[in-house]
Structure formats: C-alpha cells, structure tokens
Amino acid sequence: MPTALIRRVSSWLPLAAVTALALIVRVASELYALPLPTVEGVIRISRSELMARLGAPQATIEYGGQSYQFRHLGEYLGLGPARIPEEQSRVSIILVQAADHSTALITDEMQDSREIVVKPVGPQLATIRGIAGATILGDGRIAVILDMGILVRTIRPGSAVRAPVVEAPPRGPLALVVDDSITMRRVTQRLLERNSFRVVTAKDGMEAIGLLQDHRPDIILLDVEMPRMDGYEFAKHVRNNPDTATVPIVMITSRVSDKHKARAIEVGVNDYLGKPYQERQLLEAVRHQLNKA
C-alpha cells in the first residue's frame, strides 16, 4: 500500500465514528490496526525457530489444534517480507483464522492493543480490498484498519513464504522509554531518535519487563505513576536483575517533591527530572549518565 496513499487518508475521513479494540502493528514505516475480533491470538517464538519453520516444506505452526501458515503482513500490502533487527531474539506472531486460510502473520513490530476511533473511509479508498476504515492515533499518526478475513484470502494456501530480512542493528545507544502517556512516549522517542538514539517504548512497568527479555537498554527513562506496575516497582526490578542492575535510570515525572525524590534514590534511580522537561536538560542528563556508565 503506497505511503502517499496512507498520508492522504486523513483528508478523506468522514466525521461519523465508532470505537473498537485493535492491535496496532508496524510494517515498514507505516502503522496498521487489526481489529481484535479478527485475531485468534498472539504467540512469541524464537527467531531461530521461526527461520527453521520457514525453511521447512510446510511453513506452518500448530496452535490450539489448528494449523496456521506463516505469512508476512507486508506481502498483502505490497511492502515485502518483515524486517527483524539482528538483536531481536524473539518474534511476535499474530494468528488469524479464516477457514482454509488460517494464517500466522509476521510483522516488523507489534506495538500494543488499544481502543481506537473507527472512521469509515471515503469513496477513494472504499473500493480497495481489505481496508475496513482508518483511525487517528493519539500522537496524530494515521493507521489504516485492515479486514484480515478478506486479506488472508488473497494469497493461495501452500504458496511459498520468504524468510524475514534480518537487519544489522543501527548505531547509537538503546533507550527504553516507560510512560503511560502515549504523547510523552512519542515526544521523547522522537527527541532521542533525532539525536542518534535507538528507542523502544512501554506503557507501564509490566510491559517494560517483557521488553527486557529481548532488549538490553543502555539507559532507561521512567515515569512514576503508571497502571499495573509503577516506576518505583519497575526500578526495583531492574536493580534486582543481574543483567540490568547497572543500567542507568532517569526518572521523569510531575512528582517533584523531596519525598518522591528520596524514594527514587532509595530504589536506585540515577537522576530525577520534573515534567515538563526542557529538551536540552533531558539530553544533558541522558548523556551524563551514559558517560558515567
């Protein structure tokens, strides 16, 4: 699906809208939304197992008594096979069941599930097979909503599937940004990426713990108040894990009282910044901690 077409979607969205739960994924540089009712489940397998299965005569995986054939979501969108960073040891696979076309989808990145506002598309897009609508995400980006039941029927079962492209990791330190505000996550991510950082993000401590299974960050930027696991508890987890015990943590929060700062120091936080922060202030704090590390 051409990038130029995605960028023009927003001007074609009518005002009428409903809400739905969707899984947000990335293919190449574009984001797509997969309605959760069309997703049977999500499993995680090692990259080595994925490569072995794709090299077998039948590139399939069994789950819940059902056989799913591997496919790259990018194949349906004209974007080619998935691209997996060399440092990523495990891959998320999205299972879609559609009669004889039960499919295990490989994407470049699976972000999260969230409630979205569904906008029906105008006549310019309504005739394109597999588009169920579009949505505007919290950070202003457009995501096309896909009808996976229709899309997975467009490729004949049993046809060959290519191995994903394994990309060498880009240069630059890896930062883990943990904040329940999607706006803060994206703003911080873009600031760091403009300054040659690689960035992974999580919306709370529990999600961040999952990311630590696949990534070893050079620095962690951490909010305090988050659902499921707050910043203090996550900082304790980081310090109690031998693999991450020495990773510097910069806490960024609106809680700037001496009491909160003292607790942050107690759990092993290296620096403490208030919100809203100045970009220069954050970059100086991050670089100072990296130089010390």
| pLDDT tens track for 151-208 | 888 876 666 788 888 877 667 899 999 998 888 888 899 999 989 898 989 889 898 9
Per-residue model confidence (pLDDT) at position 42: 92
- What is the residue type of 68? Y
- CATH number at 3-166: 2.30.30.40
Per-residue model confidence (pLDDT) at position 259: 82
pLDDT exceeds 90 at position 248 = yes
The torsion angle over the Cα atoms of residues 182, 185, 187 and 190, rounded to 10 degrees, is -130
**Mean pLDDT, residues 20-46 taken together:** 91
CA–CA dist 197, 174 (Å, integer): 6
Per-residue model confidence (pLDDT) at position 158: 60
pLDDT exceeds 70 at position 264 = yes
Domain spans in the chain, listed from the N-terminal domain onward: 3-166, 170-292
Per-residue model confidence (pLDDT) at position 180: 87
Long-range contacts at 261-270 (CB < 8 A, ≥ 24 apart)? 263/232, 264/224, 264/231, 264/232, 264/235, 267/232, 267/235, 267/236, 267/239, 268/235, 268/236, 268/238, 268/239, 269/222, 269/235
Summary mean pLDDT of the chain: 85
**Mean pLDDT, residues 222-229 taken together:** 86
Residue 104 φ/ψ, nearest 5 degrees: -105, 105
Q: Per CATH, is 170-292 categorized as 3.40.50.2300?
A: yes
The conformation of residue 17, written as its DSSP 8-state character, comes to -
Label residue 17 by pLDDT band (50, 70, 90): low
Which of 152 and 293 is assigned the larger pLDDT?
A: 152
- What is the residue type of 109? E
pLDDT exceeds 90 at position 73 = yes
**Mean pLDDT, residues 80-109 taken together:** 87
Per-residue model confidence (pLDDT) at position 84: 87
Label residue 120 by pLDDT band (50, 70, 90): confident
**Mean pLDDT, residues 43-54 taken together:** 92
Q: Which of 6-10, 19-23, 241-245 has the lowest mean pLDDT?
A: 6-10
CA–CA dist 144, 121 (Å, integer): 9
Residue 214 neighbours by CB under 8 Å, 6+ apart: 87, 88, 89, 90
Label residue 103 by pLDDT band (50, 70, 90): very high
Per-residue model confidence (pLDDT) at position 169: 65
pTM of structure: 0.60
**Mean pLDDT, residues 83-100 taken together:** 85
pLDDT exceeds 60 at position 227 = yes
